């Protein structure tokens, strides 16, 4: 291992879906998914986030059996070659159960354990890490007309409420991560930007914070409708902004570039403390 200063963790995205907004269809074949996982590990990923149901606005739901059939072979194959932390992006407790049994470590739930009546109990029983992400509405319709009176106050309060619900259900405090859910039932600029501007309040809730800004549409909205694969600069800017606010990890498509940005940031930050 290196002796560089502590830095935020990099979570690399691996979508086993035909329709995700930036990499849909590329990694449906398990061998292609495994090769991508290997590449992301080599590029500096600390965690791999595997999803088999797109949460893109307007996406259709996927049955649990299909999610499990897409995820388990890839998780088993990654586990055979690496002990990297694996998270699974799912709203279904059946999928969490099957994938944790196959060797995954973290349940990344964009519904913050509200997707099924037994989600909270399943998370407590599994003893896995849980990412509780904020979303207004559900993926299919969330971007239709998001509304908040005070987006920062409401998202922060909702995350505090979900963390408390998880604790009350028996999820251990150290297993809980929070995520403001950039782009999930939020207006591209009116809601996402104030939230990004106030991440410290979410960090102050006392749980590690994960931030997903990679290639998201608000970046295109700020830069002449740049396409998803032309949003790296904006993705890095938003990730580093988050790091400055104290987030623990970033969920990204461009692992190598993000890992490099975080290393440089951490080294300069350490030097600034010694200066």
3-state DSSP assignment of residue 186: coil
Q: Are 27 and 234 in contact (CB under 8 A)?
A: no
| Token pair listed for 19 | 């329709």
* Least Å from the CB of residue 5 to ligand HH2: 25
* CA dist., res. 115 & res. 246, Å (int): 28
Rg of the chain on CA atoms, in Å: 18
> 251 φ, ψ to 5°?
-95, 115
Catalytic residue annotation? 216, 251
**Is the CB of 5 or the CB of 148 nearer to ligand HH2?**
148
* Least Å from the CB of residue 256 to ligand HH2: 17
**Is the CB of 201 or the CB of 208 nearer to ligand HH2?**
208
Dihedral of the alpha carbons of 256, 11, 178, 200, in degrees to the nearest 10: -10
* Least Å from the CB of residue 179 to ligand HH2: 4
**Is the CB of 226 or the CB of 270 nearer to ligand HH2?**
226
* Least Å from the CB of residue 42 to ligand HH2: 20
Give rounded-to-5 percent helix, strand, coil for the chain.
45, 15, 40
**Is the CB of 15 or the CB of 143 nearer to ligand HH2?**
15
* CA dist., res. 58 & res. 74, Å (int): 26
| Token pair listed for 22 | 């930036």
Give the position of tokens 């059946």. 94
**Is the CB of 129 or the CB of 181 nearer to ligand HH2?**
181
DSSP 209: B
Point out the residue whose Cβ comes nearest to ligand HH2.
Answer: 212
3-state DSSP assignment of residue 2: coil
Give, for 107, the enclosing helix (H) or strand (E): strand 106-109
* CA dist., res. 174 & res. 126, Å (int): 14
Give the position of tokens 């879906």. 17
**Is the CB of 20 or the CB of 143 nearer to ligand HH2?**
20
Binding residues for ligand HH2, per CB under 6 A?
13, 15, 17, 20-22, 51, 54-56, 89, 108, 110, 131, 133, 179, 181-182, 210, 212, 251
Sign of CA dihedral 60, 65, 68, 69: negative
* Least Å from the CB of residue 212 to ligand HH2: 2
């Amino acid at each position: 291992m290196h002796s560089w200063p502590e830095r935020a963790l990099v979570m690399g995205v691996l979508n086993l879906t035909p329709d995700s907004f930036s990499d849909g269809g590329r990694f449906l074949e398990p061998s292609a998914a495994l090769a991508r996982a290997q590449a992301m590990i080599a590029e500096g990923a600390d965690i791999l986030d595997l999803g088999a149901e797109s949460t893109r606005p307007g996406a259709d739901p996927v049955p649990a059996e299909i999610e499990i059939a897409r995820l388990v072979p890839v998780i088993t194959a990654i586990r055979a070659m690496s002990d990297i932390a694996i998270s699974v992006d799912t709203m279904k407790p059946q999928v969490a159960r099957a994938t944790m049994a196959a060797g995954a470590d973290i349940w990344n739930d964009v519904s913050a354990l509200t997707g099924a009546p037994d989600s909270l109990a399943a998370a407590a029983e599994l003893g896995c890490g849980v990412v509780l992400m904020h979303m207004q509405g559900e993926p299919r319709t969330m971007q239709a007309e998001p509304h908040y009176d005070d987006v920062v106050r409401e998202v922060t309060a909702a995350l505090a409420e979900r963390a408390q619900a998880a604790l009350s259900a028996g999820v251990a405090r150290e297993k809980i991560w929070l995520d403001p859910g950039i782009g999930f039932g939020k207006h591209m600029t009116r809601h996402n930007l104030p939230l990004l501007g106030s991440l410290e309040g979410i960090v102050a809730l006392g749980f590690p914070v994960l931030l997903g800004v990679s290639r998201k549409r608000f970046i295109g909205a700020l830069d002449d409708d740049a396409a998803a694969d032309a949003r790296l600069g904006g993705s890095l800017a938003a990730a580093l902004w988050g790091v400055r606010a104290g987030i623990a990890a970033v969920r990204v498509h461009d692992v190598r570039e993000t890992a490099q940005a975080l290393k440089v940031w951490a080294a300069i930050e350490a030097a600034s403390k010694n200066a």
